[in-house]
Amino acid sequence: MKKGYNKLLQRQIKKYTEEDIPDHMNELMSSISQAYDYYERDQALVERVMDISSKELLSANEELKKINTEMDRFVYSTSHDLRAPLLSILGLLNIIEKENEQYDLKGYLQLLRDSTVKLDRFISDIIDYSRNSRLEVLATELDITELIKESFQHLNYLPGCSSLLKLVNVDAPVKYFGDERRISIVLNNLISNSIKYQKKDIADSFVNIEASVSKDYLVIEIEDNGLGIDTPYLKKIFDMFYRANPDAKGSGLGLYIVQETIEKLNGNINVESTFGEGTRFTVKIPNLLKE
Amino acid sequence: MIIEQKTWHPRNGWNDVSKEVETSKANLVLVFGPTELIVQDSLNGTLKELYPKAEIISVSSVKSILSGEINDDLVCISAFQFSNTKIQALKINVNQVKDSFDAGAHLSAELDKDDLKYLMVFTDSTHNVNSSQLVTGIHFNISEHIPITGGVASDKNMSNTALGLNAEIGQGNIIAIGFSGNDSKIGTGMDLGWTSFGTERFISKVKNSTVYKIDHLTPLEMYTEYLEGLVDNVETSAQIEFPLGIKTTETDKRIIRSIVSFNSEDGSARFSGDLTEGDKIRILKTNISQLIDSAKNATRHSKSGINNEEPDIVFVVNCIQRSKILKDWTEDEISAVNNSIGDKRKVFGFYSSGELTPFHQSGKCELQNHTIVVTSIQETE
């Protein structure tokens, strides 16, 4: 029998005849053999396709579950955090309405303003989070010194900003190309933490920013002598809605957004901290110069 | 309309397949055959003498169809005498203009569009011609109501294709033939004969016809995932048997793109036409029955465009890759066309490396691959 025929066909031929296939039938038999081959291959292909699709479906499902859990948590925490200052505003409005003698109106207004500012900051954080997850990375030439300066200007309203000693040292021997909006989000969040979590009992609070640009990376170190973070909490500070300090007034989104943003920029962030002595964040983000 | 059909070969000379035209009155001659033969002076000199008033169009083709039969090594010549249809033949070389879009726009601008009923286009896939951009350029000046069909020249050695008008044959040429007049009826038909499998995926990184990423995989990784172990060689098999189908918004049919080559270094794949970032794609497969049925369906669609009346001529553009799958069954595919027409003498055409066709009777013409396109032409006397 001619070798190379499909195995099943060879068996079938053997079953019905002991004789060799005559030469003039070879073309027909080759054609039938090919049909058998194609049939078997198509069966295997269908199984392969189902395997791949099933794996993809499973992994998409896992991803969706993760997103769904995050979303649940996000909605719960967000609504809670959005309502707290609103309830405080409503309470204050009630007091103002009921007070006959409006001797401390200014004090109430200040409290109203505080709650409103808090609400506004929280909403800004949510917008930053959403922008980071949706927008593409956009590379332009950046002046890091200028970005840090703008960040301090932006945060000037925070209590304790003006008294904090600010040390900035930027070493940029080559041009840096990166995503301005995202790098600003990182700087604003990390610098604002240094401002917010200063030690109240010392007069020489500082934040020291060292940035260096190479053709491959931008490395920024932001160091302060503030409250510091206790070791058990250090791992959790990048989690969504985690507040290491029970007195923290932030949204609990800040460092989560920082980490998500840096991830989007293909960079990384490290933190070192000694409780009671200070914290140092080191951020490393690729230079998009060559692209 | 009257037709005359001949074959020619340098060794065997001329052979009349059918002889009806008063040769001096023929106004259009289509010549298909291997590149090294269609460029020969002795052939082109005789054609000019035989058909002095005709526009003579020459197109490289690995296989040609004449009188419903497939010819491999012969030059196939079809001469037509249209009584009431105005024939305009235009030629442009892609290297004389900015790019393929520009070539298409120039061709359609130069064409007299009064009573234009149909445009037949022949193009080159090598020599800087990008046929997807070419058809977009042609539509720049021609309404989508005018049907456009045609194909991309083919050759055993794909870098050696040539096209020409009136013996000016060369590389990078594009030919357009306009059919105008109120007495001509045109029906176009195509049927893919391919079904999709696997997950719907997105083209995520692409530059013109080179795809770098499909979702998060390179094209080579994607094909390997599906085909490794099931075929002898993933790259060769993907090129012949598993093209991509791009989902379109206006129809359930897909635009087929075949793989020209893989780059084993970065896993990218060059396709026979452009793709766009965000295109939704699935891998396609077929079998012999589906291909033969699709030839029958394409012919049926094409006849319905002329109210199922008898066409005078039937122009077939068939992808050369289909014959690599059909092998022994190649002739049966053309027989399916012949049987649907009735008189196989009317059937002529060529094997292409890309097909130009709208999805329906009219609509935007697209570059397709692995497809059979049938155009029925009828001229009422």
Instruction: Examine the fold and report which residue of A117, A134, A151 is the final residue of a domain before the chain moves on.
Output: A134
User: Contact, B259 vs B239, CB < 8 A?
Assistant: yes
A80 located within any domain? yes
With bands split at pLDDT 50, 70 and 90, how would you rate the model's confidence at B363? Answer: confident
Whether residue A206 is predicted with pLDDT greater than 70 in this model: the reply is: yes
Question: How many residues make up chain B in this entry?
Answer: 381
With bands split at pLDDT 50, 70 and 90, how would you rate the model's confidence at B250? Answer: low
Which residue blocks in A102-161 are alpha helix, DSSP H?
105-134, 144-154
Whether residue B342 is predicted with pLDDT greater than 80 in this model: the reply is: yes
A46 close to B (CB below 8 A): yes
A97 located within any domain? yes
Whether residue B24 is predicted with pLDDT greater than 90 in this model: the reply is: no
**How many A-B residue pairs are in contact by the CB < 8 A criterion?**
26
User: Contact, B365 vs B257, CB < 8 A?
Assistant: no
pLDDT score of A87: 79
pLDDT score of B92: 95
A1 located within any domain? no
Q: Do A172 and A151 belong to one domain? A: yes
CA torsion angle for B231, B233, B234, B238 (degrees, to 10)?
-90
In single-letter form, the type of residue at position A17 comes to T
A52 located within any domain? yes
Q: Do A246 and A281 belong to one domain? A: yes
CB contact under 8 A, B226 and A41: no
Question: How far apart, in whole angstroms, are the C-alpha atoms of residue B149 and residue A22?
Answer: 47
Tell me the nearest-neighbour CA distance from B230 into chain A, angstroms: 6
Give the best residue of A48, A52, A57 to mutate against chain B (max B CB count within 10 A).
Answer: A48
pLDDT score of B103: 94
Whether residue B8 is predicted with pLDDT greater than 90 in this model: the reply is: yes
A66 located within any domain? no
3-state SS, residue A255: helix
Whether residue B21 is predicted with pLDDT greater than 70 in this model: the reply is: no
Which domain covers residue A107, as residue numbers? 76-134
A64 located within any domain? no
pLDDT score of B178: 96
Question: Residue B41's Cα: distance from chain center in Å?
Answer: 26
Partners of B148 in the β-ladder:
B119
Q: Do A188 and A253 belong to one domain? A: yes
A56 close to B (CB below 8 A): yes
3-state SS, chain B, equals: CEEEEEEEECCCEEEEEECCCCHHHCCEEEEEECHHHHCCHHHHHHHHHHCCCCEEEEEECCCEEECCEEECCCEEEEEEECCCCEEEEEEEEHHHCCCHHHHHHHHHHHCCCCCEEEEEEEECCCCCCCHHHHHHHHHCCCCCCCCEEEEECCCCCHHHCCEEECCEEECCEEEEEEEECCCEEEEEEEECCCEEEEEEEEEEEEECCEEEEECCECHHHHHHHHHECCECCHHHHHHHHCCEEEECCCCCCEEEECEEEECCCCCCEEECCCCCCCCEEEEEECCHHHHHHHHHHHHHHHHHCCCCCCCCEEEEEEEHHHHHHHHHHHHHHHHHHHHHHCCHHHEEEEEECCEEECCCCCCCCEEECCCEEEEEEEECC
Q: Could you read off the pLDDT of A138-175 as tens digits, one per residue? A: 889 999 999 999 888 888 877 888 888 999 999 999 99
CB contact under 8 A, B198 and A49: yes
Quote the Cα angle for A152-A156-A158, to 5°: 120
With bands split at pLDDT 50, 70 and 90, how would you rate the model's confidence at B362? Answer: confident
Q: What is the CATH number of the domain that holds A201?
A: 3.30.565.10
Q: Could you read off the pLDDT of B295-341 as tens digits, one per residue? A: 999 999 999 999 999 999 999 999 999 999 998 899 999 999 999 99
pLDDT score of B108: 94
CB contact under 8 A, B198 and A52: yes
pLDDT score of B77: 96
ipTM confidence: 0.75
| Full strand arrangement of the beta sheet holding B55-60 | B13-18, B2-9, B75-81, B28-33, B55-60, B163-165, B168-170
A13 located within any domain? yes
For chain A, the distance separating the N- and C-terminal CA atoms, rounded to the nearest angstrom, is 62
A65 located within any domain? no
Q: How many domains does chain A contain in total?
A: 3
Angle between the N-to-C axes of helices B288-304 and B330-341, in degrees from 0 to 180, rounded to the nearest 10: 30
pLDDT score of A249: 65
Greatest Cα pair distance, chain A, in angstroms, is 118
User: Contact, B230 vs A48, CB < 8 A?
Assistant: yes
Provide, rounded to the nearest whole percent, the portion of chain B with pLDDT above 70.
98
Of B197, B227, B328, which has the smallest distance from its Cβ to A31's Cβ?
B328
CB contact under 8 A, A52 and B231: no
| Domains identified in chain B and CATH numbers | 2-190+290-379 (no CATH), 195-285 (2.40.10)
pLDDT score of B19: 77
Q: Do A117 and A149 belong to one domain? A: no
CB contact under 8 A, B230 and A53: no
B225 close to A (CB below 8 A): yes
Q: Do A154 and A270 belong to one domain? A: yes
Q: Do A123 and A93 belong to one domain? A: yes
Least confident of A56-60, A109-113, B69-73, B240-244: A109-113
Closest-approach residue (CA) in chain B for A39: B287
Top pLDDT among B33 and A124 is at: B33
Average pLDDT, chain A: 85
Top pLDDT among A122 and B174 is at: B174
B199 close to A (CB below 8 A): yes
Question: How far apart, in whole angstroms, are the C-alpha atoms of residue B196 and residue B242?
Answer: 9
CB contact under 8 A, B287 and A42: yes
A52 close to B (CB below 8 A): yes
Question: How far apart, in whole angstroms, are the C-alpha atoms of residue B131 and residue B368?
Answer: 10
Instruction: Examine the fold and report which residue of A109, A134, A159 is the final residue of a domain before the chain moves on.
Output: A134
Phi, psi of A117 (to 5 degrees): -60, -40
Provide, rounded to the nearest whole percent, the portion of chain A with pLDDT above 70.
93
B224 close to A (CB below 8 A): no
pLDDT score of A101: 65
Rg (CA), chain B: 20
Closest-approach residue (CA) in chain B for A43: B230
Q: Do A153 and A278 belong to one domain? A: yes
CA torsion angle for B145, B173, B240, B206 (degrees, to 10)?
-80
With bands split at pLDDT 50, 70 and 90, how would you rate the model's confidence at A199? Answer: confident
Whether residue A291 is predicted with pLDDT greater than 60 in this model: the reply is: no
CB contact under 8 A, A53 and B328: no
Q: Do A230 and A260 belong to one domain? A: yes
Q: What is the CATH number of the domain that holds A103?
A: 1.10.287
Q: Could you read off the pLDDT of A274-283 as tens digits, one per residue? A: 988 999 999 9
Whether residue A285 is predicted with pLDDT greater than 70 in this model: the reply is: yes
Q: Do A193 and A224 belong to one domain? A: yes
Q: Considering only CB atoms, which chain A residues are within 8 Å of B287?
A: 38, 42
Whether residue A246 is predicted with pLDDT greater than 70 in this model: the reply is: no
Q: Considering only CB atoms, which chain B residues are within 8 Å of A48?
A: 226, 230
Q: Do A89 and A27 belong to one domain? A: no
Q: Do A116 and A172 belong to one domain? A: no
CB contact under 8 A, B199 and A42: no
Average pLDDT, chain B: 92
Q: Do A155 and A237 belong to one domain? A: yes
User: Contact, A134 vs A94, CB < 8 A?
Assistant: no
